[in-house]
Amino acid sequence: MTGEQLAAGSGGNYDVIILGGGLAGLTLGLQLKRARPETTIFIAEKRPGPAPEAAFKVGESTVEVSAHYFAEVVGMKDHIEADQLHKAGLRYFFPAGDNTDIAERLEWGVPFFPPNPSYQLDRGRFENELAKRNLDAGVELVQGAFIDTVELGDDEHSVTIVRGGPGGERTTVRGRWIVDSSGRAFLLKRKLGLEQDNGHNVNSAWFRLAGGIDIEDWVDESNTEWFERMKQRGLRRLSTNHLMGQGYWVWLIPLSSGSISIGIVSDERFHPFEQIETLDGALEWLREHEPQLAAIVDSRRDGIEDFLRIKDFSYGCKQVYSADRWALTGEAGPFLDPFYSPGSDFIAVGNTLVTDLVVRDLNGEDVAERTRRHDDLFLRLYKEALTWYEGQYEMWGDPQVMIAKIAANNIMYWSTTGLLFFHHKLADTEFMAEVMPEVERIWALNARLEALFLEWFRMVAQEWRHAYVPTVAFPGMGMRHVELTSNFDDQALKAKLTEDSELMEAVAVAIFHKAASFLPEGAPDPETKINPYAIGLDSDRWEQDGLFKEPGLAIERAHELAPGITNLWVDKIAQPA
């Protein structure tokens, strides 16, 4: 498309200009067109042609919210079913000795495909299809268009793009809305001074290996107990496998193009970036920490298709939406941590809130107050989830603490963001205001639990081996996943959120009792009612923190409300190292 054609096609004037045609920008283009087909949209993407498969961007694993968003909200289900992979949940292997035998490592994950699907996406393949569908939907997507300047105006904004390299043809387009989805180019964030450090200092290095890897090939066929843990052979390969250790985890994500994505994510305090910033360094690091994986990669070094790394990749953002009709989405806003693959979830939530604002504004509504509320909600979701990661990588190698943590984190995720997203409620400001007290209860319990997990780890870190903890062992967790697609009406949804807060209270009390049992003075008597909002392992603080004040739950009642939670206590099933 030339500059003249651009001007002829649209008058160079659009309802929405999207800066950057990556995952966030392209899905937003489609979502806006679905929500309001007459919307005129311009997307500028600097990459000139189609993306390569396999060795392209990072961020291939989806979880429930993003899977639902891509498949159903954006309408990519047919493509995903035909050309991408179904994912067998998140799976974790905790350390065992020198990590040379995965069958020795305590495993935590699903034994079957979870009922609500999630997917492993080959990003190049996915973005190429998204680009095609944007063009089909009438979006003016211009590739090979470098965004040079962005000017925000009172009535309209303008963007100047350059095509054909530096000194190339310049074109200026104007728009009512500007959405920055330029990823780590941070076009608007930099311009408006919205950068914010978040104190979570983690690094990553990753590469794609042709031909893939099946971790089930690492285990001898005679180990029937290990294979029979899964309902079907080959399931583990399709999970996002996490090889866990103190201060790090390594991801293994299969791609439909046949390669596998392998990445190290590590906390700077334990594994300085210098150790993994080159391919040689990263492989040496794997040899030391994950030798079973390293041996396979070393034997197939010719199959390594790329190598990328990023230092201190997590950051905040002061504001994401403005009544002056600009918005940030995807990595152009805040970015947390890939441990639970939330990157695409935040694209799903962010794009949904942006779509709500843009469509209402274009339909003539005053969206100033709504913009403020959406901005507040999005940044709260980010900040509450940050507690899962910030300062917490220290305990990443401890199976007992991490299993309790992952269960609690999943309950929070599915009961709050998950349930509300699946029920199309996050953009419903009135409904959100009504249920926010329940959501905040869950967030408050989560914050208390995260502090306790670290205390617990520092008190009793222990290696456990040779066991499988299936996620289904604790129905209180698994059912929150199942209920995502319950199609609750508003009344039922409110009741559900109250029930989920009560479950989370019971979980907090049960975890507190388990952790406190390791204190020299032991846990409080079973009859004592424990205030879940005051839990902690410093017994000198119990009285002053109000641990014995209302609302309180005795342990027996907590176990009644969270049946099966004791199946997460690994000392019942695993062998000590």
Ligand X SMILES: Cc1cc2nc3c(=O)[nH]c(=O)nc-3n(C[C@H](O)[C@H](O)[C@H](O)COP(=O)(O)OP(=O)(O)OC[C@H]3O[C@@H](n4cnc5c(N)ncnc54)[C@H](O)[C@@H]3O)c2cc1C
Report the interface residues with ligand X, using CB under 6 A. Answer: 20-25, 44-47, 57-62, 66, 146-147, 181-183, 185, 204, 263, 310, 313, 330-332, 338, 341, 343-344, 347
- Nearest-approach distance from CB 200 to ligand X, in angstroms: 12
Q: Is the Cβ of residue 66 or residue 246 nearer to ligand X in the bound state?
A: 66
Q: Is the Cβ of residue 185 or residue 279 nearer to ligand X in the bound state?
A: 185
Q: Is the Cβ of residue 245 or residue 338 nearer to ligand X in the bound state?
A: 338
- Nearest-approach distance from CB 508 to ligand X, in angstroms: 28
- Nearest-approach distance from CB 34 to ligand X, in angstroms: 18
Cβ partners under 8 Å of residue 444, min gap 6: 533
| 268: amino acid identity, one letter | E
Distance from C-alpha of 488 to C-alpha of 73, rounded to nearest angstrom: 18
- Nearest-approach distance from CB 17 to ligand X, in angstroms: 11
Direct distance between the N- and C-terminal alpha carbons of the chain, in angstroms, rounded to an integer: 64
Q: Is the Cβ of residue 118 or residue 501 nearer to ligand X in the bound state?
A: 118
Distance from C-alpha of 309 to C-alpha of 450, rounded to nearest angstrom: 28
H/E stretch holding 160 reads: strand 157-163
Distance from C-alpha of 34 to C-alpha of 37, rounded to nearest angstrom: 6
- Nearest-approach distance from CB 333 to ligand X, in angstroms: 8
Cβ partners under 8 Å of residue 72, min gap 6: none
H/E stretch holding 399 reads: helix 399-413
As given in the structure block, the two tokens for residue 201 are 């200092």
Cβ partners under 8 Å of residue 53, min gap 6: 122, 124, 125, 255, 257
Q: Is the Cβ of residue 146 or residue 389 nearer to ligand X in the bound state?
A: 146
- Nearest-approach distance from CB 379 to ligand X, in angstroms: 16
Tell me which DSSP letter residue 239 carries: S
Tell me which DSSP letter residue 177 carries: E
Are the beta carbons of 88 and 239 closer than 8 angstroms?
yes
- Nearest-approach distance from CB 485 to ligand X, in angstroms: 20
Q: Is the Cβ of residue 101 or residue 312 nearer to ligand X in the bound state?
A: 312
H/E stretch holding 128 reads: helix 123-136
Nearest residue to 476 via CA among 404, 425, 536: 404
| 188: amino acid identity, one letter | L
Are the beta carbons of 127 and 47 closer than 8 angstroms?
no
Q: Is the Cβ of residue 182 or residue 400 nearer to ligand X in the bound state?
A: 182
Are the beta carbons of 508 and 531 closer than 8 angstroms?
no
Cβ partners under 8 Å of residue 190, min gap 6: none
Distance from C-alpha of 287 to C-alpha of 281, rounded to nearest angstrom: 10
Q: Is the Cβ of residue 254 or residue 343 nearer to ligand X in the bound state?
A: 343
Q: Is the Cβ of residue 65 or residue 473 nearer to ligand X in the bound state?
A: 65
Distance from C-alpha of 207 to C-alpha of 225, rounded to nearest angstrom: 32
SS3 sequence of 246-297 = CCEEEEEEECCCCCEEEEEEEECCCCCHHHCCCHHHHHHHHHHHCHHHHHHH
Q: Is the Cβ of residue 240 or residue 471 nearer to ligand X in the bound state?
A: 240
Distance from C-alpha of 554 to C-alpha of 83, rounded to nearest angstrom: 51
Cβ partners under 8 Å of residue 540, min gap 6: none
166-189 core/surface letters (b: 16 or more CB in 10 A; e: else): eeeeebebbbbbbbbbbbebbbbb
- Nearest-approach distance from CB 531 to ligand X, in angstroms: 36
Q: Is the Cβ of residue 70 or residue 474 nearer to ligand X in the bound state?
A: 70
Q: Is the Cβ of residue 70 or residue 226 nearer to ligand X in the bound state?
A: 70
- Nearest-approach distance from CB 5 to ligand X, in angstroms: 19
Q: Is the Cβ of residue 23 or residue 106 nearer to ligand X in the bound state?
A: 23
Are the beta carbons of 358 and 16 closer than 8 angstroms?
yes
- Nearest-approach distance from CB 184 to ligand X, in angstroms: 6
